[in-house]
Amino acid sequence: SSSSTTSGGEASGTVAADSTHVADRPRRGMKRLMLFLRSLKKAASLPMQFWLIATVISVLYLARFSESFVILRAKSVGWPVALLPMLLTGNQLMQALLTYPIGALADRTSRESVLMFGIIFLVLANALFVAFPSPLGVFVGSLVTGIHMSMTHAIAKTLLSESVEVEQLGTAFSIYAVLSGVTLAVGNGLAGYLNDFTVSRGYGVVGCFWGGAAASVLSLLLLQGYMLVKDNAAARQWPFRRYRSRATALRKNLRWNQWSE
């Protein structure tokens, strides 16, 4: 009888725990909903400058499809299969050699201008892949793509970080990760579709590069618009910042005088 009583107590305890767990589900769901709404509120509080530069970079990511398409192009023009890794090696080597000096140059000049020339290099790389159907043309195009990466990858993230306050960096880069992931997936899908289209029409494995060039040009135009908006905003805010800095200095002097007295 004692064993049956014990088992009955355990069963009732299990039922009570399950009922408590079920009762807590709406509360946990509401808590998750509130956290999600709070995260949306943080995203909405990000400045317009962030959304503009994030749009520029997201469109650029449409042109950053997988290296597999470069390999397909190389094989179609007679590049030896055993030497295919040399394409990626040359690309990575250009990035390793140029990223630091280009970053130092961007610190001394304009980051937006360096990003602009980096996008132009991507347009040039796509043109090389299309216009020069030879192993040499593909190799040079891969090297130029490495130059593009060294001029844009780190600088794009720097521009994103400069567009928000320090306490907003986590939210900003989370949104950037979502946008870049979506655009990369869409870009690869479009690249595959365009490749199939040009191959079926007898033009060869070039559709992805036409699409990459178009996305790069669109990103370049958006960057020009971003630079104009940023310059106009800075011109409008400059006098107010100057007067505000003077007012801040005056308040500090008054506090110092009161303390010294």
Query: CATH no. for residue 202?
Result: 1.20.1250.20
Report if residue 105 sits inside a domain.
Answer: yes
Cα separation, 161 vs 173, whole angstroms: 8
Q: Is the residue at 247 inside a domain?
A: no
Q: What is the pTM of this model?
A: 0.74
Instruction: Report residue 240's pLDDT band, with 50, 70 and 90 as the boundaries.
Output: very low
If you count them, how many residues does the chain have?
261
The answer to whether residue 135 is domain-embedded is: yes
Q: Using alpha carbons, list the distances in angstroms from residue 51 to 12, 118, 137, 163, 185.
A: 55, 20, 37, 9, 20
Number of helices (H) and strands (E) in the chain: give both, helices first. 8, 0
pLDDT recorded at residue 96: 93
Q: Is 32 contained in some domain?
A: no
pLDDT above 80: residue 241: no
Tens digits of per-residue pLDDT, 88-100? Answer: 999 999 999 999 9
Q: Is residue 165 part of a domain?
A: yes
Number of domains present in the structure of the chain: 1
State which residues form the domain around 203. Answer: 52-228
Across residues 138-160, what is the average pLDDT? Answer: 94
pLDDT recorded at residue 171: 85
pLDDT per residue over 174-202, tens digit each?
889 999 999 999 999 999 999 999 999 99
- The answer to whether the beta carbons of residues 188 and 66 sit under 8 Å apart is yes
Has residue 242 been placed in a domain? no
The answer to whether residue 238 scores a pLDDT higher than 50 is no
Q: Is the pLDDT at 102 greater than 80, yes or no?
A: yes
Write down the pLDDT at residue 41. Answer: 63
Q: What is the mean pLDDT of the segment spanning 212-220?
A: 96
